[in-house]
């Protein structure tokens, strides 16, 4: 299973799906954003198995 | 890295550990549900920072570990077919079935591919129209949205040569099963952070109330786990039993409703057998009938499989928090990550594999040697 934080750099539509190009470390990857209706470029999201499942709330710190 | 480094602060960890020591007045047994949490606890030695009266036992939340032997054997039967491209997450390839693992089959020529996401399998299916592309869809609620998305898209786009072998499991029924067992020792839970990203934590509230146990939804970094432990211990010491959220940066009470709707449209709840544990009612997902043309079990008719599990393995007791890895006579000897004998050694997230990876088998051997010399 793969769970990782990523930063959205671009949002676009492909084959009726809301997709995003996200930055993971130094890599750029294309992932579905269909499950996050409000995610925008600049947001950090949690990816589970290549699909964004949650936007990270930046105001929460330890 | 943002969202990681601040949750690995040594200074903050020391403050929380000191607060835990001030809080605890009695012995307590806590279970961390997720394999990822177990891995962090052993990697960072978190259990050894706690008062001796606080014991962390390791839960069933390693999806690779709990995938039943029958399902592994079905995967092997399908993967061996010459007309199949079998796709899986990498950590499933070494999991032993009754007769070897997927890596062995791959070395014998089976077309077995590691994918990063089930959605990637659709591309493979389109590029190979003369083959049947099968994805091994295992996991907890966290993985269900990506698996559901792959099936939904396949149906929508008419990718008829794509199917999934589904072996999904659900966390709340497994917690109920642990708490109902006469062997249960667990008094509080560090709840499954990433599962609750998808599902929220409403469904844990009746569990906390019914069994009178505190459940703190907890993240995976060292600070997360220490905070979750402190919050659970505070409840135990105060005699309360509510659900709290330590992981609000990605978890809220309702979860991701868009993801839940997708999962519920593709899957329905079913009874599921867990490796090392047995069958738990209503503890899994299966495909809904509307998606049966993408159901690998139906397509390949692999419903009856005879399995053979090593009799000496205690992984079922480890998964329920009754035993620890070093309680097993095989641990670190005949059972290693290279030669796993059972569920909890097969994946890096399994408790036995985590203990082995961070050298606790060596400590055990050293301890025995010291006893012998005394």
Q: List the Cα angle A47/B264/A5 in 5-degree steps.
A: 5
- Quote the pLDDT of residue A1: 52
- Quote the pLDDT of residue B278: 86
Residues lower than pLDDT 70 in chain B: 1-3, 303-309, 364-374
**Where do the domains of chain A lie, and which CATH numbers do they carry?**
3-55 (2.30.30.140)
- The partner residue sitting opposite B145, judged by closest CB among A17, A35, A57, is A35
Read off the pLDDT of residues B93-137 as tens digits, 9 standing for 90 and up. Answer: 988 888 888 999 999 999 999 999 999 999 999 999 999 999 999
pTM assigned to the model: 0.92
Distances from the Cα of B278 to the Cα of B282, B300, B347, angstroms: 13, 24, 19
Nearest C-alpha in A relative to B137: A1
- The partner residue sitting opposite A49, judged by closest CB among B64, B118, B349, is B118
**Where do the domains of chain B lie, and which CATH numbers do they carry?**
5-61+171-245 (3.40.50.11750), 65-170+255-300 (3.40.50.11740), 326-373 (no CATH)
- Quote the pLDDT of residue B373: 53
What are the strands of the beta sheet with B267-274, ordered from one edge? B112-114, B84-88, B132-139, B162-169, B278-287, B267-274
Task: Check B262 against A35: CB less than 8 A apart.
Answer: yes
Distances from the Cα of B246 to the Cα of B59, B217, B237, B264, angstroms: 18, 6, 18, 27
Task: Check B119 against A1: CB less than 8 A apart.
Answer: no
Read off the pLDDT of residues B139-194 as tens digits, 9 standing for 90 and up. Answer: 999 999 999 999 999 999 999 999 999 999 999 999 999 999 999 999 999 999 99
Residue closest to B195 by CA, chosen among B215, B218, B214: B218
- Quote the pLDDT of residue A25: 83
């Amino acid at each position: 299973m793969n769970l990782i934080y990523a930063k959205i750099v671009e949002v676009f539509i492909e084959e009726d799906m809301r997709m995003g190009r996200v930055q993971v470390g130094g890599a750029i990857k294309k992932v579905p954003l269909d499950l996050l209706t409000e995610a925008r470029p600049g947001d950090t999201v949690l990816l589970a198995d290549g699909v964004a499942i949650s936007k990270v709330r930046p105001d929460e710190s330890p | 890295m943002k969202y990681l480094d601040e949750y690995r602060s040594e200074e903050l960890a020391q403050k929380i550990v000191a607060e835990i020591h001030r809080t605890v007045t009695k012995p307590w047994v806590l279970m961390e549900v997720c394999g990822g949490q177990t891995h962090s606890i052993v990697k960072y030695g978190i259990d050894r920072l706690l008062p001796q009266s606080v014991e962390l036992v390791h839960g069933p939340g390693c999806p690779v570990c709990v995938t039943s032997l029958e399902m592994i054997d079905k995967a092997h039967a399908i993967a061996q077919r010459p007309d199949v491209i079998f796709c899986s997450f990498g950590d499933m390839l070494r999991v032993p079935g009754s007769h070897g693992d997927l890596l062995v089959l791959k070395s014998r020529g089976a077309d077995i591919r590691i994918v990063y996401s089930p959605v990637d399998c659709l591309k493979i299916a389109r590029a190979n129209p003369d083959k049947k592309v099968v994805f091994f869809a295992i996991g907890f609620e966290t993985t269900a949205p990506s698996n559901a998305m792959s099936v939904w898209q396949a149906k929508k786009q008419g990718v008829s040569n794509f199917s999934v072998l589904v072996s999904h499991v659900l966390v709340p029924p497994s917690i109920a099963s642990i708490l109902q067992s006469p062997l249960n020792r667990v008094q509080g839970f560090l709840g499954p952070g990433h599962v609750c990203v998808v599902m929220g934590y409403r469904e844990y509230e009746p569990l906390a109330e019914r069994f009178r146990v505190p459940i703190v939804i907890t993240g995976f970094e060292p600070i997360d786990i220490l905070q979750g432990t402190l919050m659970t211990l505070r409840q135990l010491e105060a005699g309360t039993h509510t659900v709290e959220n330590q992981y609000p940066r990605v978890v809220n009470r309702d979860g991701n409703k868009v993801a839940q709707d997708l999962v519920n449209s593709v899957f329905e709840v079913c009874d599921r057998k867990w490796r090392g544990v047995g069958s738990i009612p209503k503890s899994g997902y299966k495909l809904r009938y509307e998606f049966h043309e993408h159901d690998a079990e139906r397509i390949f008719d692999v419903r009856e499989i005879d399995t053979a599990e090593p009799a000496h393995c205690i992984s079922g007791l480890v998964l329920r928090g009754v035993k620890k890895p070093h309680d097993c006579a095989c641990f670190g000897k005949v059972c290693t990550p290279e030669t796993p004998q059972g569920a909890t050694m097969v994946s890096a997230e399994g408790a036995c594999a985590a203990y082995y990876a961070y050298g606790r088998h060596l400590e055990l051997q050293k301890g025995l040697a010291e006893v012998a010399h005394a």
